[in-house]
């Protein structure tokens, strides 16, 4: 590959990584919000905060 082609491909791949990182962060933030809601519900109902579901 020529240097220009390699650089273009690297930019494309790095952009794909950045987009995936953004999606993962959004999902983690959504998960954190749901976890917070679970904690609030348990606290309001005097439930055990941590109980493994095994």
Question: What would the pLDDT profile of 10-42 be if each residue is shown by its tens digit?
Answer: 999 999 999 999 999 999 999 999 999 999 999
State the virtual CA torsion across 15, 21, 27, 29 in degrees, nearest 10: -120
Q: Kindly list the domain boundaries of the chain, sorted by start residue.
A: 26-54
What pTM did the predictor assign?
A: 0.73
For position 12, what pLDDT does the model report?
Answer: 98
State the virtual CA torsion across 4, 5, 9, 10 in degrees, nearest 10: -40
């Amino acid at each position: 590959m020529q240097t220009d082609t390699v650089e273009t491909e690297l930019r494309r791949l790095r952009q794909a990584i950045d987009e995936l990182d953004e999606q993962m962060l959004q999902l983690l933030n959504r998960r954190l919000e749901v976890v917070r809601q679970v904690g609030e519900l348990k606290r309001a109902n005097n439930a055990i905060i941590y109980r493994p579901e095994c």
